[in-house]
Amino acid sequence: MPDIKRIGVITSGGDCGGLNAVIKGIAREAYALGIESVVIPHGYAGLYNLVKLESVVFLNAERVSRIEASLAGSEAGHSRVKISKIDDPDKYDRIKDGLKKFKIDALIISGGDDTGSVVVDLSSKGINCVHVPKTMDLDLQSYSVGGDSAINRIAVFTRELKTTGMSHNRILVIEVFGRYVGHTALRGGVGAEADCILIPEIPVDFNIVYEHMKTTFFARIERSDVKAGTYIIVVAEGIKNANGEMLYDESIPPDAFGHRKLAGAGRYVRQQLEKRLKSDSEVKDFMLRTGMFAPAVYEIPEVREVTPGHLVRSGHSSAFDVNFGYEAGAAAVLLLLEGKFGNTVVEVNGNHIYYQPTEKVIKRRGVDLKEIAIFETLGTCFGRKPQKFEYELIKVKGKIERHL
């Protein structure tokens, strides 16, 4: 077993719920085992510059007590830096010198697929580290801290926006984070009872979206005694059009990990709906029947896009993420002590700590499209022709894994 007396704690990539619980879980488990833990600030940028720091912050009892596990974000800070891309031929030796300077024997690093790829890189260079999965996108093979918090916030914001939608008879398009997968849009949208959910895994046929919107929205208003109604679309930032093309902000170059900035999904959906509303002769009759039509002023229902952006990853963490963060942080310490470097904490269940090589965990996991049909049978539109839910009954004999 390795002799570990001091652990460095790094959080990297995007902020999200549950990360402060990870930090506290690491610090408290280490303290219980007589091991020191310190913060390496600013993610991998901080790791690279560690050798230049005058001091590091020790996660002693007093400092840890000032960290709120229920708050999102990270007391350790973040950066989007890929170590291998740093223009310095001696970067790995520089990192090792920094760790030696502060007598740090091993690292616990919490982050998503990009962060995890650097964990694999550092491990291959002889730097001892363990990974705690963190990404609100939920695109790793395991559950990642931050996912549940983001889903709950998306659901809450979307539900609350229905009041403004009802007040103005608006069609609302809510664009949410998730990068190249639709987990947060799907789960948050279902949680808010959205009428339509658009995800990257399903190229969008906007004619189908429009017909679903028109049928649902018009009927909703005409049934109302005060002629009020709304229609809610939750759209993932990485949706694809019918040609399978994602929407990028061409003015912004890719980041260090090669990711283009996804932007404009909500605006694009709004424009597609507005174009169809303007060309549909039945819309004027609807507006006249419901008493909304005002020539040259209010001739079609209003479509608005709303982008909550970083609000979905800020604020408070869900109780689930605080629980997972504490457990995963503590388990990561135990993995280090067992010499399981280059691995990711997957789950703590009873007294079992499940782990997997980080290089396998960071492989992208998209939405399982076999599940989508069950929501389509319940009336939700996914921008395609509804499909029959093909199911199989399976009697549970033991433990089963459940990904959000």
**Sheet of strand 129-133, all strands in order from the earlier edge strand to the far edge:** 57-58, 36-39, 6-11, 106-111, 129-133, 343-349, 352-357
Query: Which amino acid belongs to residue 232?
Result: I
**Angle made by CA atoms 404, 178, 383, in degrees to the nearest 5:** 85
Give me 62's structure tokens: 């007093």
Query: Of these residues, 137, 139, 148, 195, which one is catalytic?
Result: 137
Tell me the two tokens of residue 137.
């996108």
Structure tokens at 315: 């604020």
36-39/6-11 β-pairing: parallel
What pLDDT, on the 0 to 100 scale, is given for residue 401?
A: 63
Q: For residues 198 and 241, is the Cβ–Cβ distance under 8 A?
A: no
**pLDDT at position 403, please?**
55
Q: State in Å, rounded, how far the first CA of the chain is from the last one.
A: 35
- Asked if residue 199 lies in contact with residue 182, where contact means CB atoms within 8 angstroms, the answer is yes
Q: How far is CA 21 from the centre of its chain?
A: 17
Among residues 335, 404, 254, which one has the least CA distance to residue 30?
335
Residue position matching structure tokens 């509804």: 386
114 flagged as catalytic: no
**How many residues are present in the chain?**
404
Sign of torsion, CA 314 248 234 276? positive
Digit-by-digit pLDDT tens for the chain (404 residues) are 789 999 999 999 889 999 999 999 999 999 999 999 999 999 999 999 999 999 999 999 999 999 999 999 999 998 889 999 999 999 999 999 999 999 999 999 999 999 999 999 999 999 999 999 999 999 999 999 999 999 999 999 999 999 999 999 999 999 999 889 999 999 999 999 999 999 999 999 999 999 999 999 999 999 999 999 999 999 999 998 877 776 655 555 666 666 566 668 999 999 999 999 999 999 999 999 999 999 999 999 999 999 999 999 999 999 999 999 999 999 999 999 999 999 999 999 999 999 999 999 999 999 999 999 999 999 999 999 999 999 999 888 876 666 55
| Residue 304 to residues 87, 171, 206, 249, 271, Cα–Cα distance (Å) | 44, 6, 16, 20, 10
In sign, the C-alpha dihedral spanning 97, 101, 106, 110 is: negative
